[in-house]
Amino acid sequence: MATLTIDKVTKAFGHTTVIPELSLTIEDGEFCVLVGPSGCGKSTLLRIIAGLEPISSGRILVDGVDMSGAEPPERGVAMVFQSYALYPHMNVDRNIGFGLKIARTPLAEIAERVGRAAEKLRLGSYLKRKPRELSGGQRQRVAIGRAMTRKPKLFLLDEPLSNLDAALRVGMRVEIARLKAELASTMVYVTHDQVEAMTLADRIVVMNGGHIEQVGAPLDLYHRPANLFVAGFIGSPAMNFLKGCVDTVEGNLATVSLDLGLSLTMPVSQALRPGVEVTVGIRPEHIVLSSEGQAGAFVVQASVVELLGSDTFIHVRDGEDSLVIRDSGGRMARAGDRIAITLPPHACHLFNEAGQRISDTAPATEPA
Amino acid sequence: MTQLPGAETRPALFQCKMASIMSAEAMRAGAAVAAVKRRSASRASTLYLFALPATLLFVVFVAYPILWVAEQSLYAGKTDGGVVFAGLANYTTILSDPTFWIVVRNMALWGAITIPVQMLIGGLLAYFIERHTHALRGFFRTMFFLPVVTSVSVISLVWVQIYAPYYGIAQEYLKHIGIVMMTSPIGDPKTAIYALIVVNIWQWTGFSMLMYIAGIANLSSEVLDAARIDGARGWRLAVHVIVPMLAPATKSLLLLGVIGTLQTFPIVHLMTGGGPNRASEVFGTFIFKQSFVLGDTGTGAALSVIVLVVALALSLIQIAVLGARLSPAGREES
Amino acid sequence: MAPLARSRIRGVVIHSVLFIVLGFWMVPQVYMLSIGLRTPAQAFDAALFTWPVTFDNFVTVIRDNPLGGIFLNSLIITVATVAIVVAVSSLFAFACAILRLKGSMLLYTTLLTTLMVPLASMVLPLAILLKNFGWVNTYIGLILPYAALGVPFAMVILKAFMEDAPRELFEAARVDGCNPWQTYWHVALPLVRPALVFVTIWQFIVTWNEFFLALIVLTKSEMKTLTIVPMQYSGLYMANPGALFAILTLIALPLILLYVLVQRAFVRGLLAGAVKG
């Protein structure tokens, strides 16, 4: 367990600045997920934390001690690599215990710790096998075991699930969640998959282009995204964005008319002028299917309908706008159907021209 | 920080203890940072220890001789046994020596014949052995490589015997196609160099074969399958797909072949000594004669420098223009 | 003709051709052995093989010559050289490929010039150097120059293999707490084992068969290696080809036997680099 402070760190490779000044504090025992699209710098940041990449400026503090130039073991770091990086010439037993052996741990203790990790990860019957004889999921558990036995202060994971097939990924996600409960380490987890981020994190750090877009608990990011990027990144399928402009402003209520043809009124936290262009966001699961006669209902035509059994996704195109509606009621629909929808204002988010969220909403209601 | 027992009753002592603990912590933190910085510095220097032995060997046993030779090439011997600075005189002497041009001719012939022939035979052998044999593959691979592992002194003496006009078996077989040898091929100025080339090809083709075997094993089976679907089979597959894909191995062999040609020495020295009448002289034997036999280190050194420069130039050209690499193993260049 | 039958016939034809070519290729070796097995009377027969076969020549040369001692010389020099070359070149390759030390590429390229220098030109300065060190007619007088000459090729191969290995493995070692030496020993070396095998065997062959430098440095007959003694025997047994070729056979035999034994590992090492591509 340790507190990790990233203090005004920048990172440049030659003339390319990959991370322009970034600061972040990860608390003791926290499970922090760095998430973002490819190339956003999350893996670089992880490697900087690990001590595998030197920083161009700034400091890295572990428990308040400046470790900016320190090697990984000095920082109390253990890491699970994306490709697992298991030593191919060593069997599982020796792979897991290798770090301990280098640290000159007594043999009896190595055996004991390896045994415990193997038991926890259900690798007991594979201890004498070599990595090439193991499946992807087994190799991944060995990689985790290797990191676990070192009882690290900082447990780092670099996209550990991305090399697994879909079914395995769900199972391993649960395993990692279980691991999180058992280990006392501070964990930093990098992924591009926002589902993993949402399910595993205590706090999520959304990164884009080397800087942090937003930091917060998963549901915070879900209900109160700070900007367009975070709003569009968190949640699957992604939030719908509709263009519009401000009609009138009365007090803290703004009325927006959408290009789609609807009008919405919602509270805002910032001063707005009429005529300004804005974006309204609403998640597919928050759009309500109603009937044509209802107040505020708007009729659209379904272009593609995806029936998943548990959910129905209705894709709508209206001129330049497109919408995805998610219905968990098992509603049957077909392409070409006319559908009536309402957009509850309390579930809508308003974003100004700069992409900042300016609507002032209480947490939205859960999807029906 | 937990309170020490009895802290309330002895505030001064408590404060002292606190201070000492805090300063100990600070010192430890500072020491950690200092240790980290110190370690980085000493780390850099220990890393160079990895490169040290190789560098040391090079400097003492390679760099020094090269520099010595380069220096010697600028000095000429005097009749009284000393040396005098002669500038480029040795070079002009060598370049105007007709033997030099015989050597150049021989080296060009050597390279032009051995390299392609070895590639061709080696390539054909590799192709048929790799793709058309199975149980006997190891057997054939080994047998054709045996001449490579046979000592050159043994090979020289055996081939001298083979070439012997009256009791050598070469004569026996050439009789059948109507060739009668008056003297041994290596004793005839017109044929000496060719006879030596034959021996060289015999010895080293196995090496080319092995390189091509490695190259063929490297061929992506997916590409070969795609070619077969496109309708290329057998001969056409070999010529239009396999040969071009073996280009890295070919370039490697070319590079090694050129270097090896310029380095040729033992075979010639042992079989003909460069004769008869310098007809089969090569750079190695020429240098040997100048330096050791005639004692003229100046010209011997000048020759050495010339060979080194030529080898470097030819190698650099091949690497730059063809992208040749010394070993075809490892990643392909993108 | 049915395709299967056609391919079978093709297989037979190819094998036959290969055997014929092999037959021709083996003539010199067979010839050498056969002369060694001849009586003096038939020694000068211009035939590939004669009957009857006698082992007298072999008995004579073994009895009359300290071949065992000479063999030992070759063995000691070669084993020591191979050990040094493998150790030194792997350390250097590691420094270039994994540690990526500053200036290592320049050093690497410089060391490559070793391959371009004609040995004939280095012999004289080396001879003088060794005389100054007092290393003439010693093992070390050959071992160190051999090592210096052998390192470049070995380092090329090892560097290529090390660069091929996934970088994350070395980072994992770093995270596991390995210093560079430990990474080298526990991770890098096991990873390039096929290349190490290949380099070992190749260096063994090359060193064992080296002629010129050995000739210059080892002048005392008890120090000579197997590779250079044929010269003196060709004079000794000039009138007795049978004995000469018997001894030549014995001289060539160790390395041939060794290669037959290790050729699987040797080729596998060579192919391992190939398969990585």
Question: Which residues in chain B touch residue A60, judged by CB atoms under 8 angstroms apart?
Answer: none
pLDDT band of B333, cuts 50, 70, 90: very low
Together in a domain, A72 and A119: yes
Mean pLDDT of B140-159: 91
pLDDT at B21 > cutoff 60: no
- pLDDT tens-digit map of A40-71: 999 999 999 998 888 999 999 998 888 888 88
Together in a domain, A94 and A173: yes
- Asked if residue A358 belongs to a domain, the reply is no
d(CA C95, CA C243): 51
pLDDT band of B30, cuts 50, 70, 90: low
Minimal Cα–Cα distance from C99 to chain A, Å? Answer: 13
Together in a domain, A337 and A198: no
Residue B1 pLDDT: 39
Q: Do B39 and A64 touch (CB under 8 A)?
A: no
pLDDT band of A317, cuts 50, 70, 90: confident
Domain tally for chain A?
2
Torsional class of A76: left (φ above 0), alpha (ψ -120 to 50), beta (otherwise): left
Put simply, whether A70 touches C (Cβ < 8 Å) is: no
Q: Would you tell me how many other CB atoms lie within 10 Å of the CB of residue C134? A: 10
Give chain B's length.
Answer: 334
pLDDT at B11 > cutoff 90: no
- Asked if residue A368 belongs to a domain, the reply is no
To the nearest whole number, what is the mean pLDDT of chain C? Answer: 86
| A–C interface: beta-carbon pairs under 8 A | 55
pLDDT band of B115, cuts 50, 70, 90: very high
Residue B38 pLDDT: 47
pLDDT at C79 > cutoff 80: yes
> Is A144 within 8 Å of A160 (Cβ atoms)?
yes
Q: Do C172 and A52 touch (CB under 8 A)?
A: no
Q: Do B58 and C252 touch (CB under 8 A)?
A: no
Domain of A262: which CATH number?
2.40.50.140
Together in a domain, A269 and A220: no
Task: Tell me if residue A130 falls in helix, strand or coil.
Answer: coil
Residue A106 pLDDT: 92
For residues A240, A241, A243 and A244, what is the CA-based torsion angle, rounded to 10 degrees?
80
Q: Domains (ranges, CATH) in chain C?
A: 61-276 (1.10.3720.10)
Together in a domain, A132 and A66: yes
Q: Do B33 and A74 touch (CB under 8 A)?
A: no
Q: Do A69 and B36 touch (CB under 8 A)?
A: yes
pLDDT more than 90, % of chain A: 36
What is the domain class of B94-322 according to CATH?
A: mainly alpha
pLDDT at A211 > cutoff 70: yes
Residue B42 pLDDT: 56
Tokens of B191: 């044929």
- pLDDT tens-digit map of B257-312: 998 999 888 899 888 888 788 888 999 899 888 888 887 888 888 888 888 889 88
Together in a domain, A80 and A203: yes
Burial class (CB in 10 A: 0-12, 13-18, 19+), C55: exposed
> Is A8 within 8 Å of A59 (Cβ atoms)?
yes
Tell me which chains share at least 3 CB pairs under 8 Å with chain B. A, C
- C-alpha distances in Å from residue A249, one per residue of A156, A270, A346: 48, 11, 17
* pTM for this model (two decimals): 0.80
Among A183, A212, A233, residue at a domain's last position: A233
To the nearest whole number, what is the mean pLDDT of chain A? Answer: 88
Put simply, whether B31 touches A (Cβ < 8 Å) is: no
Together in a domain, A229 and A248: no
Residue A300 pLDDT: 85
Cβ neighbours of residue B105 under 8 Å, at least 6 residues apart?
Answer: none
d(CA C167, CA A107): 29
> Is A55 within 8 Å of A67 (Cβ atoms)?
no
Q: Do C277 and B332 touch (CB under 8 A)?
A: yes
> Is A70 within 8 Å of A241 (Cβ atoms)?
no
Domain of A66: which CATH number?
3.40.50.300
Using CA coordinates, name the residue in chain B closest to C184: B50
> Is A8 within 8 Å of A58 (Cβ atoms)?
yes
- Report residue A205: phi and psi, to 5°: -115, 110
* Cα radius of gyration rounded to whole Å, chain C: 24
* Residue A265: domain span: 241-351
pLDDT band of A364, cuts 50, 70, 90: very low
Bridging pattern class, strands A31-35 and A16-26 = unpaired
For residues C195, C198, C199 and C200, what is the CA-based torsion angle, rounded to 10 degrees?
120
Q: Which of A64, A65, A69 sits opposite B40 (nearest CB)?
A: A69
- pLDDT tens-digit map of A125-146: 989 999 989 998 899 999 999 9
- pLDDT tens-digit map of C214-268: 888 888 877 888 888 887 777 777 777 788 888 888 888 999 999 999 988 888 8
> Is B129 within 8 Å of B138 (Cβ atoms)?
no
What is the residue extent of each domain of chain B? 94-322
Together in a domain, A221 and A307: no
- C-alpha distances in Å from residue B219, one per residue of A157, B120, B326, C226, C275: 36, 18, 19, 40, 8
Q: Which of C168, C171, C176 sits opposite A99 (nearest CB)?
A: C176
- Asked if residue A359 belongs to a domain, the reply is no
Minimal Cα–Cα distance from C181 to chain A, Å? Answer: 11
Residue A32 pLDDT: 95
